[in-house]
Structure 1
Amino acid sequence: MSNPDPISVFRTEANEMLELIEAGLLDLTRSLDDRDQIDAVFRGLHTLKGSGAMFGFDALAAFTHHCETAFDRVRKGDVPATQELVAAVLAAQDHMRALLERPNGDHDATSAALLADLQCAVNGGAAPAASVAQPAAPAGADAPAGRRTWRIRFSLPANAMANGTNPLGLLDEMRDLGECRIVADSSRVPDFLMLDPREIHLVWDVTLTTERPRADIEDVFIFVMDEMALEITDLTSARPAMPPATVVADVPATNPVVAEREPAPIQAANDSRQNKSAENVRVPAERLDEMMDRVGELVIAQSRLTQLAGAAADLGLRSVSEEIERLSGELRDTMMVLRMMPVASLFSRFRRLVHDLSRETGKEIELVTEGEGTEVDKTVIDRLADPLVHLVRNAIDHGLERPEERLAAGKPAKGRVILSARQTGGEVIITIKDDGRGISRERVRAKAEASGLIQPGATLVDQELLQLIFQPGFSTAQQVTNLSGRGVGMDVVKKTVEALRGAIDISSRPGEGSEVALRIPLTLAIIEGLLVRVGQGCYVIPLPAVEECLELSLEDDLRSRGRSFISLRESLVPFIRLRELFRTGTQPDPHQKVVVISTGAERVGLVVDQIIGDHQTVIKSMSKLHHDVVTFSGATILGDGSVALILDVTHLVAVGQQQEAQLRAAG
């Protein structure tokens, strides 16, 4: 197996660092005096700059240095943190991504414009008097005002050398900064019998006299800062006596980063962080997908083995078959967990979107997220990103009113958008809700009639009317804006959700807001299914959608002709005869079964000839020739090699409810 490309690894880690910086900046907008967030953003910029320089991304390192310097001034109290400064650094952070992906591109004009905005934000909107890269530093801090004497005391984690850090190299770098005296404290070195020669136990005390600023000293430790204990003290005004220790040699130091903390607590914290990092392994998504395919093939083979063992009289073969079935089930469940991700990784992307749209539209917006711990298949999360962007943008542009309109309507000036997720059975429901003006039924109907989607005066139930907004080219916006109004987006949302075998529910109350719920299956790879027979063919019903199974006698079947309803605990449930829907041309079995399925509050019964049993279903996509067959969401291979189609529960429930509405209207 080839070693991973270091540049690719750096890009992955840099993108993660940029996400952390963005999250810190967005948290800072809520509390501009939060010292922890200010320090976190500064450390992120500092690490990104140093790592970029080390891997040859000089343009990224140089540009990031300006943002780091600006936040260093905030950290030191020279300038206040403002919304304008946060917005400027957020815009700069987007440019950092471009510098990361296209390091050799022409970015000079964009860099200059962003740095001008950053400098203006640092100076409070006034014309800059000096470059952001060279801010006025407080006396005694970074200003190279003559020769100064510093005491640097540092210790490295015990496994530093194993991780590639050479302490002599750090000491050599410090010697290059000026005159230095280095003393090694050996009080932590264990007894000889307990000594591990691969570990570091020394603590170094360095007295450095130099004209270089403090930042240059910090830069020596930049690549090891987060894993070490470091104290830097200015001895120019008062120079205390050095503690007794063993003189090592006049050696010197390293690279940048500071953390004035107590050595022992930091060492414990660093060890804990390293242990946590060691527990995680970065695996490319393609390998997980490949592994999932292999597990799917194993499940199919195991199903074949179970069928053969069931037909054989060999008890030993049956025992082995049961053991393999158990192991393959456990492997399948483990693999499913590996592919699951919390929706927090999806929801976190919208904090930036809402922040930018709030500044662009002039609306006050609060984003609330709920159920971030709900886990969904990785593929589902990747495909849902764009649909959710359209829904959130529409909620802000069409739904939320301007502050003055909200106040006039008796609402708070700040509008609210709620993103929530919850799991129900084998599906997850992601909801986008706003407290805006709601959807105008009159405008939707007028637009639909003008577009020829419905006949003038046609009778539609409320849900059918609201679903019209997902038609291609449909928009009720009175003018086209940067956000919406072109009639594209909502139809893409519907197509994407349906491609995931999901459904969309929409509700709205005039003056109170709207709610769009996406019902998505938890996984797209392997599901538990109920195998049934209709005529001579076998079909799979996703087990999470099954509520119960009933027997439909021949008398009940004949009695319900013309009105396909069954009485289920004092409620009428419509049912569909799959034999007629699929046109099997066969006679019904004497004892038919009704499988009651549901999607939320809607229920419908499916009449089948036989219920065979549960089945681990490996989902295979339908061919392009069958793309328009909406009754089925996929196919699977049975143990005997035959193919069984997977029923699209959402479509069948909709068909059943439509039949019920027609019968009620006729009655």
Structure 2
Amino acid sequence: MSQFKETFKEEAYELLGSLEDLLMQLEDDPNNPEAISAVFRSIHTIKGSASMFDFQGIASFTHVVESVLDGVREGTVNVSKKLIDLTLLSRDHILSMLNADEDSTPEFEEVSQSIIDEMKVLTGEIAEPQNENSSKIEKQADSNENVESIYRIQFAPDENIFLSGTNPLLLLNELSQMGEISCISYKDDLPDLDIFNPEICYVHWDIYLTTKQTLDEIKDVFIFLDARSKIDITRISDWEVMVNEDPNPKLGEILIDKGLIQPSDLSQILDSRKKIGELLVEKGMVSSSDVKSALEEQKISSSIKQNMGTGSTSTIRVQSDKLDSLVDSVGELVTAQARLSQLAVHEKSSALQSLAEQIERLTSDLRDNTMSLRMVPIGSTFLRFKRLVRDLSSSLDKNIQLVTKGGDTELDKNVIEKLNDPLVHLIRNSIDHGIESAAERKKKGKDPTGTITLDAQYTGANVKLMIRDDGQGLNKEAILKKAIEKKLISPDAQLSDDEIFNLIFMPGFSTAQSVTSVSGRGVGMDVVRRQIDALNGSIHIKSEHGVGTEFSLHLPFTLAIIEGLLVRIQDEKYVFPLSMVQACMELTAEQRENHGKKRLIEYRDSVIPYIRLRELFIYDEELPEREHLVVIQTENTLTGFVVDEVIGDHQTVIKNMGKLYKGINYITGATILGDGNVALILDVNRLSTLAKKGSTLNDSNK
């Protein structure tokens, strides 16, 4: 029983998560019947399952909430801010009871009663409890409402139907609004063009309709047709019947069922080796349209069997730790495959090389499929913040709306999980520091309602995540003043806008005039920078005083396996993320002399800065005659990195550095090569910043 209870909890967590999103939608659009029904269904499902698995505290409480929401469905209770507040509070209370060892404690009962009392005040009535039998009847009624049936409609309009002003296509369109529809048109009676009469209807149809509507409701569509038009509506199957039937219907059986052929005709055809449909058409027993119609019916039946058949499901639940273990195993397999490929080259065996290539293809497919399992749309994370914005803006007496874009952009679930805290910090700061009160915004000629925008988009093999607000922007003078007070910079320091904005990421830095429950202690933005760095990402700020602020986060898809470019510096090997590599060029000794100390090179009609990694990482041996320059793109900036040799692409399994190496600049991780040696993965974002600054190589951060 404990196993089933855990399954119930998992389902309840998902329902409560979606419930919060639905309530936010309902607050924006109070008259949306779909949102109202979805909210009701979520609570109804939790109530029924809680009662089944003996969570009586949850069951009794959700019953009252369900009664109120039923009033919303029936139109007797209006959707208001108070109703949304109470339903959100109920959602949080149910979550607390789920997380506790016991859901029927006196403390929980007290909270439940207080929420129920508030709901009684809101509705003006007391919801009476239902007995067990009525609950079962209600549940059975709900299940019956959800049963869909498949109807075969044979529609042969009278040839003079156009003369009565009736358009058969409008009837087909009305049917399509009842459910999923598939039409087969019979055009065998169409005459040659020289005798074609546009006032005569030569076409008839077989229509397959999957719907929850009744037979009488379907007949009502054709109620105004005259008696000369032929309508034959047959309920060929219920979903449940089709799911439980073992064999799929055969083509011949469907044609017999439609009365197009006799069983004796089918027996004669089966003795031949040709396809049934082809032989029946050849013998003139049925038309090609008849066969096409029967095949469509067979296709519908097979599709239902495939999607809803016994023993098969479209999705399954997998524990995240099992998925992580699978990714780790695939990572080890990628490393082993690299060793096999290297061994095949060394042994010079064609058979071994052929096997290694086959293993490499299979490993690559397995890697891509496994990584796709961990990819999650970021939209689910975006929706969580609607509640945060709503509650915080209300507590600070501000009018703020959250706009989300690019919710279908996918990221590794581990990246998304670690991204939650940084986003919370950034959104809270935008609400508290960035967006002004409604009165201030009116004085400035702005819309009284402020806007925070979350926008995600792909940039190569990375994701760019932007958090924008239309508030007052960052005050450069206030930031400089505070930095000088805290002795973070000297009073005569000359800083660019980017350098000034980056000061807010310093530990303990805050320009807030007072500490609030939301922010002001200076413990948020430095945490944001550290957590983004831990994700091998970068964060950049754009701000215009009085207009707003934008934080841009550049993040990798995954923290597990990437495609890399393997390079060599002296005897050591390094890896660039291949998605950021734009080109590889040769750099000769003559070019080095011409450049002198400028460290600039021409690339595609532009001049880009470059940095020599040999000097940065302090390799003392003499420079080779020819070096290679790797051009990397970060954001919209191109930067060059000089190495001794470019080896080629490499499937890179990212390994975290040990605690001893934590915090080393310009390195984000390591990978194991096929020969067992270790290659370091370069932090190209920081290296690009260093190259743009033209930093000298005796920097203390080396």
TM-score by length of 2: 0.74
- How far 1:660 moved relative to its partner? 6.6
1:62 and 1:446, CA in 2 relative to 1: closer, same or farther beyond 3 A?
Answer: same
Q: 77, 80, 90: which is aligned to 2:78?
A: 80
2:430 corresponding residue in structure 1: 395
Tell me, yes or no, if structure 1 residue 275 matches structure 2 residue 307. yes
Q: 471, 483, 508: which is aligned to 2:506?
A: 471
- How far 1:561 moved relative to its partner? 2.8
Q: 517, 520, 525: which is aligned to 1:490?
A: 525
- How far 1:122 moved relative to its partner? 5.3
- How far 1:312 moved relative to its partner? 2.3
1:552 corresponding residue in structure 2: 587
- How far 1:387 moved relative to its partner? 0.8
Would the aligned equivalents of 1:507 and 1:514 in 2 still touch at CA under 8 Å? yes
1:202 corresponding residue in structure 2: none
1:10 and 1:121, CA in 2 relative to 1: closer, same or farther beyond 3 A?
Answer: closer
Would the aligned equivalents of 2:568 and 2:644 in 1 still touch at CA under 8 Å? yes
Would the aligned equivalents of 2:90 and 2:115 in 1 still touch at CA under 8 Å? no
1:598-631 C-alpha deviation (Å, 9 max, x unpaired): 2112222111111111111111110111102121
1:317-371 C-alpha deviation (Å, 9 max, x unpaired): 1111111111111111111111111111211111111221232222211211111
Would the aligned equivalents of 2:147 and 2:239 in 1 still touch at CA under 8 Å? no
Q: 214, 217, 220: which is aligned to 2:137?
A: 217
- The 2-side partners of 1:389 and 1:265 are apart by 54
- The 2-side partners of 1:60 and 1:73 are apart by 20
Would the aligned equivalents of 1:309 and 1:317 in 2 still touch at CA under 8 Å? yes
- How far 1:261 moved relative to its partner? 6.6
Aligned pair count reads 553
2:295 corresponding residue in structure 1: none
Letter in 2 for 1:415: G
Q: Residue 477 of structure 1: SS of its match in structure 2?
A: coil
Tell me, yes or no, if structure 1 residue 57 matches structure 2 residue 45. no
Would the aligned equivalents of 1:566 and 1:572 in 2 still touch at CA under 8 Å? yes
Letter in 2 for 1:592: E
Letter in 2 for 1:355: R
1:216 and 1:597, CA in 2 relative to 1: closer, same or farther beyond 3 A?
Answer: closer
1:52 and 1:225, CA in 2 relative to 1: closer, same or farther beyond 3 A?
Answer: farther
Q: Residue 452 of structure 1: SS of its match in structure 2?
A: coil
Structure 1 residues 134-283: aligned runs within 5 Å:
134=128, 217-219=137-139, 224=143, 228=147, 262=214, 268=239, 275=307, 278-283=313-318
1:21 corresponding residue in structure 2: 19
Hey, which of these two has a bigger chunk of helix by percent? 2
- The 2-side partners of 1:449 and 1:115 are apart by 55
- How far 1:14 moved relative to its partner? 0.6
Letter in 1 for 2:656: S
- The 1-side partners of 2:550 and 2:213 are apart by 49
1:456 corresponding residue in structure 2: 491
1:236 corresponding residue in structure 2: none
Letter in 2 for 1:70: V
Q: Residue 694 of structure 2: SS of its match in structure 1?
A: helix
The CA RMSD measured in Å over matched residues stands at 2.8
- How far 1:77 moved relative to its partner? 2.3
1:226 and 1:53, CA in 2 relative to 1: closer, same or farther beyond 3 A?
Answer: farther
- How far 1:78 moved relative to its partner? 2.2
1:306 corresponding residue in structure 2: 341
2:410 corresponding residue in structure 1: 375
Q: Residue 393 of structure 1: SS of its match in structure 2?
A: helix
Would the aligned equivalents of 1:57 and 1:103 in 2 still touch at CA under 8 Å? no
Question: Structure 1 unaligned runs (5+)?
Answer: 136-141, 145-172, 178-213, 231-259, 663-667
Question: Structure 2 unaligned runs (5+)?
Answer: 150-211, 216-234, 244-303, 698-702
Letter in 1 for 2:61: F
Q: Residue 652 of structure 1: SS of its match in structure 2?
A: helix
Structure 1 residues 527-566: aligned runs within 5 Å:
527-566=562-601
1:53-74 C-alpha deviation (Å, 9 max, x unpaired): 1112111111111211111122
1:329 corresponding residue in structure 2: 364
Letter in 1 for 2:56: D
Q: Residue 474 of structure 2: SS of its match in structure 1?
A: coil
- The 2-side partners of 1:422 and 1:129 are apart by 48
- The 2-side partners of 1:274 and 1:50 are apart by 29
Tell me, yes or no, if structure 1 residue 415 matches structure 2 residue 447. no
Tell me, yes or no, if structure 1 residue 432 matches structure 2 residue 467. yes
Letter in 2 for 1:67: V
Letter in 1 for 2:467: I
1:589 corresponding residue in structure 2: 624
Would the aligned equivalents of 1:88 and 1:114 in 2 still touch at CA under 8 Å? no
- The 2-side partners of 1:266 and 1:360 are apart by 56
Q: Residue 486 of structure 1: SS of its match in structure 2?
A: coil
- The 2-side partners of 1:414 and 1:110 are apart by 37
- How far 1:571 moved relative to its partner? 2.5
1:628 corresponding residue in structure 2: 663
Letter in 2 for 1:75: R
Q: Residue 592 of structure 1: SS of its match in structure 2?
A: strand
- The 2-side partners of 1:52 and 1:515 are apart by 44
- How far 1:220 moved relative to its partner? 5.7
1:540-579 C-alpha deviation (Å, 9 max, x unpaired): 1111111111111101112223221112234221111111
Would the aligned equivalents of 2:442 and 2:448 in 1 still touch at CA under 8 Å? yes
1:220 and 1:327, CA in 2 relative to 1: closer, same or farther beyond 3 A?
Answer: closer
Letter in 2 for 1:78: T
Q: Residue 471 of structure 2: SS of its match in structure 1?
A: coil
Would the aligned equivalents of 1:88 and 1:118 in 2 still touch at CA under 8 Å? no
Tell me, yes or no, if structure 1 residue 70 matches structure 2 residue 68. yes
- How far 1:275 moved relative to its partner? 2.9
- The 2-side partners of 1:545 and 1:75 are apart by 53
- The 2-side partners of 1:37 and 1:499 are apart by 39
2:390 corresponding residue in structure 1: 355
2:539 corresponding residue in structure 1: 504
Would the aligned equivalents of 2:68 and 2:119 in 1 still touch at CA under 8 Å? no
1:14-63 C-alpha deviation (Å, 9 max, x unpaired): 10111222222111101212222222211211110110111121111111
1:446 and 1:265, CA in 2 relative to 1: closer, same or farther beyond 3 A?
Answer: farther
- The 2-side partners of 1:412 and 1:107 are apart by 48
1:342 corresponding residue in structure 2: 377
Percent identity reads 43
- The 1-side partners of 2:412 and 2:478 are apart by 38
1:273 and 1:13, CA in 2 relative to 1: closer, same or farther beyond 3 A?
Answer: farther
Structure 1 residues 589-608: aligned runs within 5 Å:
589-608=624-643
Q: Residue 511 of structure 1: SS of its match in structure 2?
A: coil
Letter in 2 for 1:598: Q
- The 1-side partners of 2:109 and 2:522 are apart by 35
Letter in 1 for 2:7: V
1:33 corresponding residue in structure 2: 31
2:269 corresponding residue in structure 1: none
1:4 and 1:539, CA in 2 relative to 1: closer, same or farther beyond 3 A?
Answer: farther
- The 2-side partners of 1:504 and 1:377 are apart by 18
1:71-126 C-alpha deviation (Å, 9 max, x unpaired): 112222222121111111101101100111104167544654564355435544xx
1:134 and 1:595, CA in 2 relative to 1: closer, same or farther beyond 3 A?
Answer: same
